[in-house]
């Protein structure tokens, strides 16, 4: 499903983010930036060595990527020109400022995308896999952060939420409808 917020289309779909046709995809990475399982593993496998090489260069310059922050690399062999890597919070019963950290992932990613004049971007459901963030709460934060952002920043024309499982797809669809 799709919705329009000012001049931005917000889209919820089910699929594999490595197949995205948009200009930029987001990676649910970890602070090491050196790859891992889940969507991170899939992006590095599909995008090839160029992405990891750039992650290593960034690490050598600035060290780890703190939770909630974001860095940008090439998309390598992906259709997407860029990958923005953000480190989501590990769910710890909500006792570790997880909501604020997750919100920062979305806002810092979009701010970096604006800096690179990126017009279209695909997000995975950050932290809801290996990091065990409750899906409903994570979706609430993702949608609210992105919708608030695009209300005041018109550069990004399309934002996709690429859900990998049916639960997330349903949750995102219900919440997006409720926001309209």
Query: To which residue do tokens 């800096």 refer?
Result: 115
To the nearest 10 degrees (0 to 180), the angle between helices 38-47 and 49-62 is 120
Query: Least separation, in Å, of the C-beta of 128 and ligand AR6?
Result: 4
Q: Cα separation of 120 and 117, whole Å? A: 9
Q: Interface with ligand AR6 by CB under 6 A: which residues?
A: 16-18, 28-30, 36-40, 42, 88, 124-131, 162, 164-165, 168
Residue pointed to by tokens 């919820």: 12
Q: In whole angstroms, how close is the CB of 7 to ligand AR6 at the nearest point?
A: 26
Asked if residues 147 and 179 have their Cβ atoms less than 8 Å apart, the reply is yes
- Shortest distance in whole angstroms from residue 112 CB to ligand AR6: 18
Nearer to ligand AR6, 8 or 86 (CB): 86
Query: Does 165 participate in catalysis according to the annotation?
Result: no
Comparing CB distances to ligand AR6, the nearer of 113 and 171 is: 171
Distance CA 168, CA 128 (A): 9
Query: Catalytic residue positions?
Result: 40
């Amino acid at each position: 499903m799709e919705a329009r917020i000012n001049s931005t289309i917000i889209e919820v779909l089910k699929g594999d983010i490595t197949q995205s046709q948009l200009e930029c995809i987001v990676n649910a990475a970890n602070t090491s930036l050196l790859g891992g399982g889940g969507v991170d593993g899939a992006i590095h496998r599909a995008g090839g060595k160029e992405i990891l090489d750039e992650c290593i260069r960034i690490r050598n310059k600035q060290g780890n990527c703190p939770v909630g922050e974001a860095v940008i690399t090439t998309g390598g062999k992906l259709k997407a020109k860029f990958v923005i890597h953000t480190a989501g919070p590990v769910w710890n019963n909500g006792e570790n400022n997880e909501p604020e950290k997750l919100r920062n992932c979305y806002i810092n990613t979009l701010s970096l995308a604006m800096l690179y004049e990126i017009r279209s971007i695909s997000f995975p459901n950050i932290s809801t896999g290996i990091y065990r963030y409750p899906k409903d709460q994570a979706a609430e934060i993702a949608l609210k952060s992105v919708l608030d952002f695009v209300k005041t920043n018109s550069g990004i024309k399309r934002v996709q939420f690429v859900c990998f499982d049916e639960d997330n797809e349903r949750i995102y669809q219900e919440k997006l409808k409720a926001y309209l």
